[in-house]
Amino acid sequence: MSRPKLKVAVLCGGRSGEHEVSLRSAQAILDHLNPEFYEPRRIFISKSGQWDPAPILPEPGANPGIDVVFPVLHGTFGEDGAVQGLLELANLPYVGAGVFASAASMDKEHFKRLCLRDNLPVTEYEVLHTGNPHIPHPLEPAIARFGFPLFVKPANLGSSVGISKAHDHAELEAAVALAARYDVKVLIERAISGQEIECSVIGNYRPQAATPCEILPSREWYDYEDKYLLGAARALLPANLTQAETEEIRRLSVACFRAVECMGMARVDFFIERPSGKIYINEINTIPGFTSISMYPKMWEHAGLPFHQLVEMLIDLALERHHLRQSLRYER
C-alpha cells in the first residue's frame, strides 16, 4: 500500500532585494520533487507582499493543504525569522533554521558576536547605527583601525545586495549611504585578501559538512552582478586547499552552525587570508541558493547526494524536528 503524497508548499518571492534569486531557487526545488511521493505547491509572495494563491494562516489546522513548508525566501522577511515565526504559529513543519537561528544569522553583527562567544574567527568590524539620528556614526574609527580598502554592508541582507568595497574616503561615504538604504545598521569590515571559500552543512542535531568549494570572482570581489548576472565567476570543487585547511573549514562550518543553533541546512562562507593562511568566517546563510549555479547543492552532489535526494533529506529533517517539538509543553 503506497503512502499518501506529502503536500509540500515551496514558499518563494518575497519583499527583499533577493526576490528574483528566490524564484529561481524555488523553481529548481519544484523541478526536483518526485511527483510519486510529493504533491508540490508553489506559494508566491510578490514584492508588495501579496500572497498567491493564498497566504499561510497563523493558526494551527488552518492550512489543510500543507504538510510541510520549504521556505526559499532569501533575505529580509524570509531568512530573518519573520516567516519562521509565522510557521511556528501555524504549527507547520518547515525546512531550515528556526526563529532565533534565522534572526541571529541574518544580523551580521549579532552573528559575529555569537561566533566570538565560541572563539570562532570572524572578520574584524565596526558598526554604524545609521538609522538612529541620536547616535553619531563617524567613519574615522574604522579607517584608523583597518585602513583601506574596506567592505561596507547592510547588517541584514544577503546575495551581496547593498555591499560595496571602498578604496578611499569618498567611496566609503558613498558605500555607507548605499548600505543605509537597505538597513538601519551598517557594518564596516576590514578587507581580506585571499581565497573565498564556501562550505555546505546539513543536519539537525548531528550536522555534517561537505567538501568546501572555492569561488573565483571575475571582478575585484564577488558582488551581486558576478553572482547572478555576468555568469563569469567560476568555482573550484573541491577547493584548492591543503588537507589540513579542508578539515579546518569543515570543522569551523559545523561549529558555526551549532553556535547559532541552526537546523536543517546552511552554507558557511569563509576568507582565507594570504599569505598568512588565517581562516575567517564571513557569514552563514540559513537559506542558501538552490539555483542552477548555487554551490550549496553542488557541494552535496560532489559528496554523492544528488539534488533530488538533498531536497528529500531536508524535508525529512524538517519533519524530524517538528515531531520532536510536538512533545514540548507550552502551559503548566
Active-site residue, selected from the candidate residues 14, 98, 289, 312: 289
Classify burial at 220, counting beta carbons within 10 Å of its beta carbon; exposed 0-12, middle 13-18, buried 19 or more: exposed
Buried b or exposed e, range 253-286, using 16+ CB within 10 angstroms: bbbbbebbebbbbbbbbbbbeeeeeebbbbbbbb
Q: Mark whether 269 is an active-site residue.
A: yes
Active-site residue, selected from the candidate residues 126, 214, 283, 312: 283
Q: Mark whether 267 is an active-site residue.
A: yes
Q: Mark whether 228 is an active-site residue.
A: yes
Active-site residue, selected from the candidate residues 22, 282, 285, 294: 285
Active-site residue, selected from the candidate residues 17, 18, 160, 282: 18
Q: Mark whether 18 is an active-site residue.
A: yes
Given the DSSP bridges, would you call strands 208-209 and 186-190 parallel, antiparallel or unpaired?
unpaired
Q: Mark whether 285 is an active-site residue.
A: yes
What would the grid cell of residue 34 be? Answer: 518526485
* CA within 13 Å, CB half, 324: 8
Q: Mark whether 296 is an active-site residue.
A: no
- Bond from prior residue into 53 cis (ω within 30 degrees of 0): yes
DSSP-H helix ranges across 165-306: 169-180, 224, 243-259, 295-302
- The strand ranges marked E within 178-306 are 186-190, 194-203, 208-209, 213-216, 234-236, 264-273, 279-285
User: How far is Cα 171 from Cα 331, in angstroms, rounded to an integer?
Assistant: 54
Given the DSSP bridges, would you call strands 186-190 and 125-128 parallel, antiparallel or unpaired?
antiparallel
Q: Mark whether 283 is an active-site residue.
A: yes
Active-site residue, selected from the candidate residues 183, 226, 269, 312: 269
Q: Report which of 64, 60, 184 is spatially closest to residue 132, judged by C-alpha positions.
A: 184
Number of helices (H), then strands (E), in the chain:
10, 14
Map residue 295 onto helix, strand or coil: helix
Q: Report which of 167, 162, 191 is spatially closest to residue 178, judged by C-alpha positions.
A: 162
* CA within 13 Å, CB half, 173: 2
Active-site residue, selected from the candidate residues 38, 125, 222, 228: 228
Active-site residue, selected from the candidate residues 105, 159, 160, 294: 159
Active-site residue, selected from the candidate residues 267, 280, 282, 296: 267
Are 106 and 263 in contact by the 8 Å Cβ rule? The answer is no
Residue positions annotated with a catalytic role: 18, 159, 228, 267, 269, 283, 285, 289
